[in-house]
Amino acid sequence: MAGLAASYGSGAMTNSIAEIEDCPVMLVIGSNTTENHPVIGTVMRRAVLHKGAKIIVADPRRIPLVQDAAIWLRQRPGTDLALVNGLLHVILRDGLQDQKFIDKRTEGFEALKESLKKYDPATVEKITGVPAADIEAAARLFGAAERAGIFYAMGITQHTVGTDNVKALANLAMATGNVGKESAGVNPLRGQNNVQGACDMGALPTDFPAYQKVANPEMRARFAQAWGLASLSDKPGLTVTEMIDAAAQGKLKALYIMGENSLLSDPDLNHLRKALAKLPFLVVQDIFLSETAQEADVVLPSACWAEKDGTFTNTERRVQRIRKAASPPGQAWPDWKIIAELGKRLGGSWGYGGPAEIMEEVAKVTPSYAGINYQRLEELGGLHWPCPDTEHGGTCVLHVDSFSRGKGLFHAVEHAEPAELPDEAYPYTLTTGRILYQYHTGTMTRRAVGLEDMAPECLVEINPADAQSLGLANGDQVRVASRRGEIQAKAWVTERVGRGVIFIPFHYAEAAANLLTNPALDPVSKIPEYKVCAVQVAKAA
C-alpha cells in the first residue's frame, strides 16, 4: 500500500479479477498464485489455455505456474528490485516505453531514466543470477504488449526493500502505459479475504477509514463530529512489529489481538514470546483457542464467517455481502458486537442495531464507499470502490483519466541486499511461504480432516545437490537453524528450489518457520523480511 500510494495516490489493485482472462501478457512476481490464490491462478491459466496469453513468472522457486509460463526468471531471493530495473532498462533502451503516456500523465521520469543506466542486463545477471538473454526476452515481451498486467504478493513486499519493490513495479507499469486501462495495471494480491477491507476501514496506525490521515486536522474534525467526540488524537499508533518491540521494552501495558495467531505468524518467535510474557495484559479475540489465545489473560470467543452477517472487501476492491448460515457456538459473538460492547464499557455510546447500520455509517464517513449499502449489494451482488454515490455502478479500473494523486510519480529506487545474507556459519538462504492445502497459521485448515490428510506435516524443500552434499535423503529429519532459533522437520529433496535455497511453509506449529525468520523491517511499511534469512541445515541426530 505504501509503495502504490506514493506512486499513484492509492494503494489498491488497479483492475478486476475478471479482466485477467483477457490480459495478453502478465508478469507474476513474488506470487505463488495457483497455490496461494487458486481462483485467480485458475483465471490466469484459463487465459493461457484459451486466449493465448503469455505469462512471465519471476520467482526463486519452480512454482506450479512455471509450467504455464512463456518465460521463467529465477532470481536470487532478495533481488527483485534489480530484476525489475533491468526489465525497465531494456524497455527504455529499445524504445518500447509509452512516451505519450509518460509525458501526459507522469512526473519524475528523467530521474528514473538516469538511475536505470547502470541496470544493464549483464550487470543485473550478476546481481540476480537470471541470464541476461532471459531478461531481454521478458522485457521485450512485456514492453511490446498492447496490454500487460503485473501481479504480485508477499514475495515482493516481505523484504527490507518491500516498499521500493512496489515502487519499481509501479514504474514499470507507468513506463509502458499499462495503468488506467482494462486487462492491465498493477495488482497486489491480498493474502487473506478481507485484508483490503480491513485497511479500507482504518486498520492502519496512520489512517482513519478510506486512508484519511489522522495527521490532517480537517479529517480529525470530520470524524470527531461523526462519532460524537470533542476531539481525536493526531498521534499515529504503532504497527504490529512496533507493538511487539514496545512490549519487549516494557512500554506497552496491554495488547488486543483479533483474528491473528501471532505466535506462528510473526518473525523471530522467541523474541515475540518473551515480549508477550512482559505484557501486563493480553486479550485475544478468535474463533479457536490458537497458540496465541492460549497465552492470553482473556479470550473473547468470536463467530466465524458463516456465523455472522456483514461484508468483505476483497483483493479487487469488490465489496460483497456475507450472510449468517449458522448460529455461533457457546458464548461466541460476532466481532462487531464484541467491539461495540467493549466501546460501551469504555464510555462510548455505540448503539448499532446490526451490521447494516454500521455500513450506513461507513458510507457517511468514507467517500469511496458513499454509494454502497446493503440494498444495492443485494441487488448487484457486489460493488467495486470507489463508488461515490448511489447512482454509481462502482469502478473496476482505477486511474483511467488521472491518478489519485494527479500525475503518477516515478521513483528512482536502487537495489539493496537483504539484511542477512548467507555466510560460512549459516550458508543457506531460507525463504518462507504458503502451500495449497494449508492456510496461514493453520488455525482453521489444520482442523479440516481432508486438508490435513493432504498436507499433514512440514516439509523442508532442499535442492538435490545440496541434499547430496549434506548426506540427506528424501524424508530424512533435518535440523534447520538461524541466529534466532531452530526447528526439525522432514526433508523434501526437490528441484522446486535452486542450489543454496531452502523453502519452509509457516503453517506448522510443531516446526514453526518463524522461529528462524529475521525481524529486520522495511523502514516505511515496517513489514519484516520473512522472505530472506541465513540458515544452516544438517541431518537431525
Distance between CA atoms of residues 277 and 281, nearest Å: 9
Across 69-120, the runs of DSSP E, i.e. the strands, are: 71-73, 106-107
Residues of the chain with CATH 3.40.50.740: 195-384
Distance between CA atoms of residues 291 and 299, nearest Å: 12
pLDDT band per the 50, 70, 90 thresholds, residue 228:
confident
Q: Which three cell numbers stand for residue 221?
A: 474534525
Tell me, what's the pLDDT at 11?
A: 87
Tell me, what's the pLDDT at 93?
A: 97
- For residue 2, what are the CA distances in angstroms to 5, 204, 266, 363, 382? 5, 11, 20, 24, 26
pLDDT digits (tens, 9 = 90+) for 156-215: 999 999 999 999 999 999 999 999 999 999 999 998 889 999 999 999 999 999 999 999
Candidates 199, 202, 194, 258; CA nearest to 226 is: 202
Q: Which CATH class is domain 428-539?
A: mainly beta
In the predicted structure, residue 350 carries a pLDDT above the cut 90:
no
**Burial of residue 321, with CB atoms counted within 10 A of its CB: 0-12 exposed, 13-18 middle, 19 or more buried:** middle
**527: β partners:** none
**Burial of residue 392, with CB atoms counted within 10 A of its CB: 0-12 exposed, 13-18 middle, 19 or more buried:** middle
Contact by Cβ (8 Å): 537, 478: yes
Mean pLDDT in residue range 138-151: 98
The fold adopted by the segment(s) 2-189 is Dimethylsulfoxide Reductase; domain 2 (3.40.228)
Residues of the chain with CATH 2.40.40.20: 428-539
Contact by Cβ (8 Å): 17, 37: no
Q: Helix or strand or coil: residue 290?
A: coil
**Burial of residue 355, with CB atoms counted within 10 A of its CB: 0-12 exposed, 13-18 middle, 19 or more buried:** buried
Q: Helix or strand or coil: residue 216?
A: coil
Tell me, what's the pLDDT at 489?
A: 98
Distance between CA atoms of residues 97 and 454, nearest Å: 46
Distance between CA atoms of residues 273 and 182, nearest Å: 47
What CATH number was assigned to the domain covering residues 195-384?
3.40.50.740
Spatial CB neighbours of 120, under 8 Å, sequence gap ≥ 6: 86, 89
pLDDT digits (tens, 9 = 90+) for 363-401: 999 999 999 999 999 999 999 999 999 999 999 999 999
pLDDT digits (tens, 9 = 90+) for 277-314: 999 999 999 999 999 999 999 999 999 999 999 999 99
Across 274-406, the runs of DSSP E, i.e. the strands, are: 281-286, 298-301, 310-313, 318-322, 383-384
pLDDT digits (tens, 9 = 90+) for 98-121: 999 999 999 999 999 999 999 999
Candidates 29, 152, 80; CA nearest to 413 is: 80
Residues of the chain with CATH 3.40.228.10: 2-189
Tell me, what's the pLDDT at 243?
A: 95
Strands 533-539 and 148-152 turn out to be unpaired
pLDDT digits (tens, 9 = 90+) for 19-73: 999 999 999 999 999 999 999 999 999 999 999 999 999 999 999 999 999 999 9
Distance between CA atoms of residues 281 and 256, nearest Å: 9
Candidates 232, 235, 236, 210; CA nearest to 222 is: 232
Tell me, what's the pLDDT at 351?
A: 85
